[in-house]
Chains A and B, each alone.
Chain A
Amino acid sequence: MAEWKMICKVEDIPQLGSRVVTSAEGDIAVFRTSSDGVFALRDKCPHKGGPLSQGLVHGEQVTCSLHGWKLRLDTGEAIAPDVGCARRYPTKVEGGQVFLEI
């Protein structure tokens, strides 16, 4: 059963940046946008498995660090013309703490 787990404070993730959370399911990338939205995706690009956490965040998208695929942070889907999807994990922020449902 998935449950909410606290991972860090919002400030621990830089704006327009990310952190990597290690888990039994593999690495998860947690992103923070310029408007403080927090999103989590499996840290594996649908293209060739690049670590999405190392990408550049803009708007609600991340550009993968290896070959520049762009993925939507809210759904994990690749932006056309690329096709693919990285698994999305639900997140919430309560009292300045970031929670991940896993």
Chain B
Amino acid sequence: MSKQKLVMVGNGMAGVRTIEELLKIAPDQYEITVFGAEPHPNYNRILLSPVLAGEMTVQDIILNDHAWYADNGIKLHLGKTVTKIDRVKRMVIAADGTEEPYDRLLLATGSNPFMLPVPGNDLPGVISYRDIKDTDDMIDAAKLYKHAVVIGGGLLGLEAANGLMLRGMDVTVVHLGPWLLERQLDETAGKMLQKSLEDRGLKFLLQKQTEMLVAGESGRVAAIRFKDGMQIPAELVVMAVGIRPNTALAESAGIYCNRGIVVNDTLQTYDPKVYAVGECVTHRGIAYGLVAPLFEQGKVAANHLANYGIGRYTGSVTSTKLKVTGIDLFSAGNFIGGKESDGFEEIILNDAAGGVYKKLVIKDNKLVGGVIYGDTADGPWYFQLLKDGRDIHDIRDQLIFGQSLVGDVGHQGQSKAASMADSAEVCGCNGVSKGVIVKAIKEKGLFSLDDVKKHTKAASSCGSCAGLVEQILASTIGGAYSPAASDKKPVCGCTDHSHQKVRDAIRQQHLTKIHDIMRALEWKTPDGCDKCRPALNYYLISTWPKEAKDDPRSRLINERVHANIQKDGTYSVVPRMWGGLTTPAELRAIADAAEKYNVPTVKVTGGQRIDLLGIKKEDLPHIWADLGKAGMVSGHAYGKSIRTVKTCVGMEHCRFGTKLAMDMGVKLERMLFDMYAPHKVKLAVSGCPRNCSEAGIKDVGVIGVDSGYELYVGGNGGIKTEVAQFFVKVQTDEEVMEYSGAFLQLYREEGFYLERTCHYLERVGLDHVKGKVLEDEENRKALYARLVDELKDAKDPWAERVAGVEKKEFELLSV
């Protein structure tokens, strides 16, 4: 069967992104033809501003060069404007007569700059700011002329004005509104921005209405006159007063338009054969003018063009950032707010002398909008809170001061991406500096965290610098960066589905095998990858503990062989020491084993037990057998599972002890033996508030007090130290087991893979957990019962291996 024909009209950012998405999921489905009115291959329009400012060249901003089209078998008609669509014959016709038939048509014609309808708007020297040609015209004019006027004090106008000024022109910005960027900023921030732009040399005329543009002797524009009679010289006039969706072609073909080309949630127009994306469309009454939402549209359109039929575009929240080097400005959502009686509240920080202004708008304990001027490092963090709709009442008193004060500090306490030096290391695991990331973002046209991971490796290992990379993205590409809401982020590059979607599908469709999930959710790769397979395996065994079978091949090495791999390929063995307790007999057995297997290093771990490091893989079952004979079992030091329950000596010995901490710790550890979870789980029990077992930084911390036990949850002592939050106070040992067991079971059932309890709580909120565990007794008991039931026949994985399970894993072959 011959391939279907897909024709795209408009070779711009939204359209080409759609084609890229399509090629990823259905590379062979279509014979693709692209028409572009401009003579260039697809370039990054956003970066025209740095080109104008002299910070980049046109060559730097090409996103897809000619070779890309050729490599993907795309027929490219450059410099050809399509003037007619024959929907009956399913054919498009260009101005020069070129005809191409289609089975599916994708319209991505972008928008046209709006030209003020004033006399003289067609004089030479009067231009808009939209494409490479306009940019070249401005660069040329700056060489010949002195006076420039930019009409429009919006993002585009200010970027144009800044660029022209840097090219040596005397620039005046004329703006009708009462302050600059009135669609992005409130009055205070707008005035601050004006002041700092004036300090750099720009001039402003606000609340001025243009009457006409006056021609000079040469016929070129020479001056601008306002309604109030004032006139100033202008040899270059740039109109940046807005854009209009470019619908002329669609309209002439009778496709329904209302401001833009009207599309539904699948980006289909009223003609089912015709799809449309980008600035030319109206979706649910909104036409977007920033790339982030357009890329979201592209992804959904590609999915439907590929006949997958999943994914709906339901609209976007956008944020903006001005790309004028040295000026930090960020706004998102509803930053104007509303009446107090409608539930709107504002938090404002205004440090005029320090040049910092922040305003956050809150409604129903959620962040709904914000403007930041001067110190935008926290912009992406606020934007994420806004998108996630996270309940902020618990962090409200610190919110305005930013992320670092809320405790969620960035990498190395460093959270000021914009102010970091280019040489500063961002990703400690892979040694990637800020400069390398910025360069890749600019040169390769990267827009997402995933892109950066793929091209630079930053944030692809331990992930602790992901937040910082997101900040760098935001400060480099501005409003074009749009993080997905946390619970909507795809599991990995093999799928568009989020962890939540996958978890839901497993439960609702009763899926019990990894390949069934991949089939049901249309995975893009045959067997997934090292990111999704372990996640899917965990979701299966935690959702259907009795039915789903564990797949060793979907576990990473440590969990597959029940030991930690070392840099030289040997392994370490950490036997469990319940609650940190051991006996002379156990120590003797450990000493004997260490000698027998020539263990090079014996170390006391940070988890109150002993580590035997440097053991050959083929020796593992043997050393386990020896340790097992002395009654020792796996310590799971390798697993996304229960690790340790640290204890202090407690009332057993300590003069201050109020509770039997060791006894309580051992009981908890025995209860949780062999429990797998989204990530590792650590507990601690202290006998009094002196807290010698560091219960304050554990997933579950138990502190004995005279009148009972205090339970803390969500602590973490790892990459980002997180203090555990007070959960509940209980009386008895049984209650400690029930409440902590129920909490952990909820985490096991709801947590996303590789989400520690602190991240899980950050996502769902402590109140959610309290509702399910503290306030709903029946649910608590049910959760606890499920945990106990699941773990009642837990087996020691080491003993199983000694008995022959997965025998071949440990045996060498030879030639």
Interfacial residues, chain A to chain B (CB-CB below 8 A): 5, 7-8, 12, 14-17, 19-23, 28, 30, 33-35, 48-51, 54-59, 63, 65-68, 81-82, 100, 102
- In contact, B529 and A63 (Cβ under 8 angstroms): yes
Which residue of B525, B569, B812 is within 8 Å of A22 (Cβ)? B812
Given A56-B556, A57-B553, A81-B456, decide whether A34 and B530 contact each other with a Cβ distance below 8 A: no
Nearest A residue to B460 by beta-carbon distance?
Answer: A68
- In contact, B530 and A19 (Cβ under 8 angstroms): no
Counting chain A CB atoms within 10 Å of each CB, which of B455, B526, B554, B813 scores highest?
A: B813
Whole-angstrom distance between the Cβ of A55 and the nearest chain B Cβ: 7
A31 vs B718: C-alpha distance in the bound complex, in angstroms? Answer: 35
> Top 8 A-B pairs ranked by shortest CB distance?
A63-B530, A65-B557, A16-B553, A51-B569, A58-B527, A56-B530, A21-B813, A54-B557
Chain A neighbourhood of B513, CB < 8 A: none
A82 vs B460: C-alpha distance in the bound complex, in angstroms? Answer: 12
30 pairs, A vs B, C-beta closer than 8 Å: A12-B813, A14-B552, A15-B553, A16-B553, A16-B554, A17-B553, A19-B808, A19-B812, A20-B812, A21-B812, A21-B815, A22-B814, A28-B815, A33-B527, A48-B567, A50-B569, A54-B565, A56-B530, A56-B533, A56-B553, A58-B525, A58-B528, A58-B529, A58-B530, A59-B526, A59-B527, A63-B529, A67-B430, A81-B456, A82-B457
- In contact, B808 and A81 (Cβ under 8 angstroms): no
- In contact, B569 and A81 (Cβ under 8 angstroms): no
A12 vs B813: C-alpha distance in the bound complex, in angstroms? Answer: 10
Which residue of A48, A65, A82, A100 is within 8 Å of B556 (Cβ)? A65
A90 vs B461: C-alpha distance in the bound complex, in angstroms? Answer: 32
Chain B neighbourhood of A5, CB < 8 A: 815
Additional pairs, 15, CB under 8 Å, beyond known A16-B527, A68-B530: A8-B813, A17-B553, A19-B808, A22-B814, A22-B815, A23-B815, A50-B569, A55-B530, A56-B533, A58-B527, A58-B529, A65-B556, A68-B460, A81-B457, A82-B457
B454 at the interface (CB under 8 A from A): yes
- In contact, B553 and A23 (Cβ under 8 angstroms): no
Chain A neighbourhood of B457, CB < 8 A: 81-82
B window 542-569: CB within 8 A of A: 552-554, 556-557, 561, 565, 567-569
A100 vs B454: C-alpha distance in the bound complex, in angstroms? Answer: 34
- In contact, B454 and A54 (Cβ under 8 angstroms): no
A38 vs B83: C-alpha distance in the bound complex, in angstroms? Answer: 55
- In contact, A19 and B813 (Cβ under 8 angstroms): yes
A92 vs B661: C-alpha distance in the bound complex, in angstroms? Answer: 60
B: number of interface residues (CB 8 Å): 31
Whole-angstrom distance between the Cβ of B522 and the nearest chain A Cβ: 16
- In contact, A66 and B527 (Cβ under 8 angstroms): no
Nearest A residue to B558 by beta-carbon distance?
Answer: A65
Given A15-B553, A57-B553, decide whether A100 and B525 contact each other with a Cβ distance below 8 A: no
Whole-angstrom distance between the Cβ of A10 and the nearest chain B Cβ: 13
- In contact, B808 and A20 (Cβ under 8 angstroms): no
- In contact, A7 and B815 (Cβ under 8 angstroms): yes
A20 vs B527: C-alpha distance in the bound complex, in angstroms? Answer: 22
B window 594-630: CB within 8 A of A: none
Whole-angstrom distance between the Cβ of A97 and the nearest chain B Cβ: 12
Nearest A residue to B569 by beta-carbon distance?
Answer: A51
Whole-angstrom distance between the Cβ of A39 and the nearest chain B Cβ: 14
Chain B neighbourhood of A49, CB < 8 A: 568-569
Whole-angstrom distance between the Cβ of B579 and the nearest chain A Cβ: 31
Whole-angstrom distance between the Cβ of B113 and the nearest chain A Cβ: 38
Chain A neighbourhood of B529, CB < 8 A: 56, 58, 63
Which residue of A21, A34, A50, A55 is within 8 Å of B526 (Cβ)? A34
Nearest B residue to A13 by beta-carbon distance?
Answer: B808
A50 vs B762: C-alpha distance in the bound complex, in angstroms? Answer: 35
Whole-angstrom distance between the Cβ of B282 and the nearest chain A Cβ: 39
- In contact, B530 and A21 (Cβ under 8 angstroms): no
A34 vs B533: C-alpha distance in the bound complex, in angstroms? Answer: 13
Whole-angstrom distance between the Cβ of B540 and the nearest chain A Cβ: 15
Nearest B residue to A28 by beta-carbon distance?
Answer: B815
Whole-angstrom distance between the Cβ of B516 and the nearest chain A Cβ: 14
Whole-angstrom distance between the Cβ of B797 and the nearest chain A Cβ: 17
Whole-angstrom distance between the Cβ of B655 and the nearest chain A Cβ: 48
Chain B neighbourhood of A28, CB < 8 A: 815
Chain A neighbourhood of B568, CB < 8 A: 49
A21 vs B814: C-alpha distance in the bound complex, in angstroms? Answer: 5
Map CB proximity to A onto B517-541 as digits: 1 under 8 Å, 0 otherwise: 0000000011111100110000000
- In contact, A68 and B461 (Cβ under 8 angstroms): yes
A37 vs B569: C-alpha distance in the bound complex, in angstroms? Answer: 25
Chain B neighbourhood of A102, CB < 8 A: 815
Chain A neighbourhood of B557, CB < 8 A: 54-56, 65
- In contact, A12 and B808 (Cβ under 8 angstroms): yes
- In contact, B813 and A67 (Cβ under 8 angstroms): no
A44 vs B536: C-alpha distance in the bound complex, in angstroms? Answer: 28
Nearest B residue to A50 by beta-carbon distance?
Answer: B569
Chain A neighbourhood of B460, CB < 8 A: 68
A54 vs B812: C-alpha distance in the bound complex, in angstroms? Answer: 13
